[in-house]
């Protein structure tokens, strides 16, 4: 008479499940009376599932590390971009009120910082504020000027001449524009100098050098700004 044995129906579905689900099934389902061969097959399957699970965990750790490194890289880029933007702007001129609040470490809101000052104290602070702004601006080298062509070159050339007439700036601009329109094509041609490829490359190189220099200047400026104390 043949011995009867039973294999749970859900064992069929377990073979197609994920490694983690298969491992959970094999470790929680009781093994009933089965032939020795079937038990060995289960052990082989369990070993295979365990190895696959280890591989998946390893891949998950690697992916997590890659995501972490990528986030760190993006954060560093954002900070660098922010630093560059501030360096390009340079120093914001401080008003006397803002300067007094800074050097005396007063809150932004509250009593007017100049309210109770004597006249000579105010004059001393005005002089110190002026020198502070000048010292801050001195850290930064000017941006290289692009080569002007056409109308812009004409404006730069003629603007001082029109300005001597004493008319308001807005009228000077209008007069220069009208003067440009009155020129013949041949007269305008002398202001239309073509940029060579070499000129363009040199301009880009000069700008990049200035940009890198500006970053270093900004770092020095920050040290001066943050450690500044009012002269005694």
Residue 154 burial (C-beta neighbours within 10 Å; 0-12, 13-18, 19+) = buried
pLDDT in tens, 94-105: 999 999 999 888
Model pLDDT, residue 6:
46
Q: How far apart are CA 200 and CA 147, in angstroms?
A: 9
Element (H, E) at 229: none
pLDDT in tens, 26-60: 555 554 444 555 788 888 888 888 888 888 998 99
Confidence of residue 75 (pLDDT cuts 50, 70, 90): very high
Which stretch of 54-63, 84-93, 152-161, 207-216 has the lowest confidence by average pLDDT?
A: 152-161
Residue 67 C-alpha from the chain's centroid: 19
To the nearest 10°, the Cα dihedral for 92, 95, 100, 103?
Answer: 10
Model pLDDT, residue 21:
62
pLDDT in tens, 161-202: 877 767 788 888 888 888 888 888 888 887 776 555 666 777
Domain ranges in the chain are 42-89
* DSSP annotation string for 10-74: HHHHHHHS-HHHHHHHHHHSPP-S--HHHHHHHHHHHHHHHHHHHHHHHHHHHHHHHHHHHHHHH
Q: Indicate if the pLDDT at residue 129 is higher than 90.
A: yes
Model pLDDT, residue 197:
63
Is residue 176 a contact partner of residue 159, using CB atoms and an 8 Å limit?
Answer: yes
Q: How far apart are CA 228 and CA 9, in angstroms?
A: 80
Model pLDDT, residue 93:
93
């Amino acid at each position: 008479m043949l011995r009867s044995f039973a294999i749970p129906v859900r064992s069929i579905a377990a073979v197609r499940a994920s490694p983690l689900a298969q491992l959970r099934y094999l470790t929680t389902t009781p093994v009933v009376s089965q032939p020795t061969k079937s038990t060995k097959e289960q052990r082989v399957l369990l070993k295979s599932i365990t190895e696959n699970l280890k591989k998946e965990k390893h891949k998950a750790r690697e992916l997590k590390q890659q995501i972490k490194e990528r986030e760190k890289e993006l954060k560093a880029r954002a900070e660098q971009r922010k630093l560059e933007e501030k360096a390009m702007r340079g120093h914001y001129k401080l008003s006397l009120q803002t300067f007094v609040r800074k050097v005396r470490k007063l809150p932004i809101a509250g009593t007017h910082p100049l309210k109770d000052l004597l006249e000579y104290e105010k004059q001393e602070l005005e002089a110190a504020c002026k020198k502070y702004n000048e010292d801050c601006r001195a850290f930064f080298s000017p941006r290289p000027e692009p080569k002007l062509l056409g109308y812009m070159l004409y404006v730069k050339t003629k603007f001082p001449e029109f300005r001597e007439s004493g008319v308001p700036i807005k009228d000077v601009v209008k007069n220069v524009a009208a003067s440009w329109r009155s020129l013949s094509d041949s007269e305008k041609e002398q202001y239309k100098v073509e940029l060579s490829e070499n000129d363009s490359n040199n301009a880009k190189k000069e700008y990049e050098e200035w940009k890198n220099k500006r970053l270093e200047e900004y770092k020095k400026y920050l040290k001066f700004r943050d450690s500044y104390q009012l002269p005694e």
